[in-house]
Amino acid sequence: MSKNAKLTSRSSRQAIAILALSDVKLSQFGFDVLTRIEAGLLTYAEGKAEILERARAKLMQEALLHSSDDQ
């Protein structure tokens, strides 16, 4: 889904507004997870798990890059 899609729930719009106040831009991945939750395709727990899994993968990738730099 593109960011042009409308978010319908107040809580979704508030979450994005809170991020904006902290000068944090919602990624396309985060927006897609949020819209799938709104559409009922994911539960909150499933969406959270997807986000955490992606964050773990990025951390592991960074750790591997830094460990190869040390050698």
Whether the predicted pLDDT of 3 surpasses 80 = no
Rounded to 5°, the CA angle 18-21-25 comes to: 80
Digit-coded pLDDT (tens) for 38-64: 999 999 999 999 999 999 999 999 998
Contacts of 30 (CB under 8 A, 6+ apart): 51
Question: Which tens digit of pLDDT belongs to each residue from 18-35?
Answer: 999 999 999 999 999 999
Domain residue extents for the chain: 10-70
Helix or strand or coil: residue 66?
helix
Q: Check residues 5 and 39 and name the one with the higher pLDDT.
A: 39
* pTM for this predicted structure: 0.75
